[in-house]
Amino acid sequence: MAQKFYITTAIHYVNDVPHIGHMYENIVADVIARHRRRAGDDVWFLTGTDEHGQRIERSAAKQGILPIELADRVVADHHRLWKKLNVSYDDFIRTTEARHRIGVHEIIRRMLERNPDDIYLGEFQGWYCPNDETYFTDKEVTDAKCPNGHPLERAREQNYFFRLSRYQHLLLDFYDKHPGFVLPRTRFNEVIAFVAGGLRDLSVSRTSIRWGIPWPGNPDHVTYVWLDALTNYISALGFGSGDHEKFDRYWPADLHLIGKDIIRFHAVYWPAFLMSAGIELPRRVFGHGWWLRDNQKISKSVGNIVRPENIVDDFGADPFRYFVLREMVFGQDQNYSDEAFVTRYNADLANDLGNTMSRALKMADSYFGGKTPPTPSDDNDLIRASRELVPEYLRAMDDYAFQRALENTWRLLVAINGYIVANEPWKKFKENGADEALSRVLWNALESLRIVWVMLAPFMPALTRDALARLGSDPDAIGVDALQWGGLPNNVPIRVGESIFPRIDTAAYIGGTMSNPPIETTQAAPPDLAKISIDQFMEIDLRVAEIRAAEKVEKSKKLIKLTVFDGDRERTLVAGIATRYSPEELVGRKVVIVANLQPAKLMGIESNGMVLAASIAGEPSLLSVDTSVPAGTKVK
């Protein structure tokens, strides 16, 4: 019987639309889920949204809407995004669903039934962090800021408390017996040290908040968001309902995948709640690192949100999925930039993978009449390379060391390239035609490329199907058994087709996006940010210009070539605004330009200045002035 594998992501807050941190987590979970499925496991993959609590209440109030309206909106964004990124979850839980409320009530009921004095009514006096929805005692706070730097509010209210202090030794004992419970190990050590330092009881209800799950039997209280949120992992399986077939089948979770900031909730509070209610504990919690921007965590509260949806729109989900997994050492932090994406795309995908594919396919196409060569091969350097690298790759996948898994895949690719160069198939063809020796060489190259793509299947699922079909292989043959040498049939049609990864013109793409940044970076100004003087500002020649002609730049999705009159002369500008504006609607408009910018070449066209535009989630919006303002008017 297939082994079950239950994987969950954190459920994401709905106070704002998802950003790269959320995207990353769901992509990683998807890669793991796909890999386990193709290894034959009975996988259940859960993601969802955390919709209660003060932060949602406040965000909704700010926008003048009800919390549920905000949640509905953001949930729609989640669904759209996960579809676009090819995230193959089996279930999506919202904490506002009835099935979830039932699960929360049931876990509290079980705690009270099994350990009646685990929950008691008490008074909390201390500090509250609305951002992290966490309470702190006076002892823990020095300057009215939480450990993450958010401002705290004074709090005093009657709450239900959970007797967490009782679980210190039970937890330490559990950690001892399950040395792989939290990964990476350094984080586990932090958890153990925290618990060993003593645990204080935890307030698990609120009277100051309305937006939540009413406390069973006392509707003046709502359930503390973390007790509410953590229970999603079992409520989604039908825990507490009449239909608990999924709970019986999949619980305990094999992997809770979360960011490092919420490890304590998952590795301390959650196991203690479960122990109290007499429910089995999850098998593993993995705390991944953060995506950073300028070395700061990307988050709504910092205000440096990155939503690289434009990258996904322009180059597809698969290259982006590959990039985030290849770039980040799983468990560590990593800075994000569009430039890093373009560099990696061109080097790894366009160059190494794309070129090797088209080279091998083109040769097989022209030497063997568009078919896979007729002779299979069972003894060559590539078999040896694949027999060494595939097990390494599988070990890395089991260790969640995705970067290492991809490095091993690339080592095979390098071996294929070396093999082609060493065997010079073009020379063989010239000398002896499409003989058996040539057939073996090209079959070997195509066969090992097939294996490379099977290795890539969890990372780039859509492109893998296409690539396998081009190679003459069954696009669905991506199981771990397909990593064995010898799967490529002989004499079956192949397809060269268009390049899988057309090279990105870095200057044009980054240049085009720099004049209108594709990512919304609303970085809150740090207090020590260097200010410029009025003289420095006056050095920028900002003026009104009239657009006299506009045309799309060939082969670019973003760029438009503009001829503008700046009051003195006509000049050519290239602007990355084609995703929003058509050339026709631009002619006649008055815009604001930076007139004294150094010229720059974009897609071979010299751009003399820059058009100013605001950017909303990557969508440019031109700064325009009234048509009555004459071209050349200074802007200051």
Measured from the CB of residue 203, what is the shortest distance to ligand MSP in angstroms? 17
| d(C-alpha 299, C-alpha 318), whole Å | 24
Asked whether 352 and 119 are in contact (CB, 8 A), the reply is no
Give the count of residues interacting with ligand MSP (CB under 6 A). Answer: 21
Determine, following the binding rule CB under 6 A, whether residue 78 of this chain makes contact with ligand MSP.
no
Using CB under 6 A as the binding rule, whether residue 89 contacts ligand MSP is answered as no
Q: In 10 A of CB 617, how many CB atoms?
A: 12
The DSSP H or E segment spanning 270 is: helix 270-277
DSSP string spanning 393-453? Answer: HHHHHHTT-HHHHHHHHHHHHHHHHHHHHHH-HHHHHHHH-S-HHHHHHHHHHHHHHHHHH
* DSSP code, position 156: E
Among 7, 17, 22, 87, binds ligand MSP (CB under 6 A): 22
Q: Does 297 bind ligand MSP (CB under 6 A)?
A: yes
Contact predicate 68/12, CB 8 Å = no
- Site for ligand MSP contains 24 (CB under 6 A): yes
Nearer to ligand MSP, 21 or 511 (CB): 21
By CB under 6 A, which span of 70-78, 204-212, 226-234, 414-422 interacts with ligand MSP? 226-234
d(CA 407, CA 389): 10
With binding defined as CB under 6 A, does residue 85 bind ligand MSP? Answer: no
Examine residue 230 and tell whether it contacts ligand MSP (CB under 6 A). yes
Residue 47 or 579: which CB sits closer to ligand MSP? 47
Please choose, out of 4-12, 105-113, 191-199, 361-369, the segment that lies near ligand MSP by the rule CB under 6 A.
4-12
Candidates 253-261, 343-351, 528-536, 547-555 — which segment interacts with ligand MSP by CB under 6 A?
Answer: 253-261
Q: Does 308 bind ligand MSP (CB under 6 A)?
A: no
Q: Looking at beta carbons only, is 298 or 350 nearer to ligand MSP?
A: 298
Q: Considering the complex, state which of residue 159 and residue 232 has its C-beta at the smaller distance from ligand MSP.
A: 232
Q: Which amino acid is at 141?
A: V
**Closest to ligand MSP by CB, 41 or 77:** 77
Locate tokens 């631009």: which residue? 586
Chain positions 275 to 294 lying near ligand MSP, rule: CB under 6 A, are: 290-291
Q: How many residues does the chain have?
A: 636
> In the complex, what is the shortest distance from the CB of residue 18 to ligand MSP, in angstroms, rounded to a whole number?
8
CA dihedral sign of residues 315, 321, 326, 331: positive
Which among 57-65, 216-224, 296-304, 428-436 is the span making contact with ligand MSP, rule CB under 6 A? Answer: 296-304
> Out of 42, 72, 97, 261, which residue is the one contacting ligand MSP (CB under 6 A)?
261
Read off the tokens for 124: 């909390």
HSE, CB side, 13 Å, CA atoms: give it for residue 415: 24
In single-letter form, the type of residue at position 21 comes to G
Q: State the burial class of residue 584 (Cβ atoms within 10 Å of its Cβ: 0-12, 13-18, 19+).
A: exposed
Euclidean distance between CA atoms 11 and 18, whole angstroms: 11
- For 122-144, give the secondary structure using H, E and C: EEEEEEEECCCCEEECHHHCCCC
Residue 222 vs 564, nearer CB to ligand MSP: 222
User: Does 12 engage in binding with ligand MSP (CB under 6 A)?
Assistant: yes
11 counts as binding ligand MSP under rule CB under 6 A: yes
- CB closer to ligand MSP out of 289 and 373: 289
What is the contact surface with ligand MSP in residues (CB under 6 A)? 10-13, 21-22, 24-25, 50, 229-230, 232, 258-259, 261-262, 290-291, 297-299
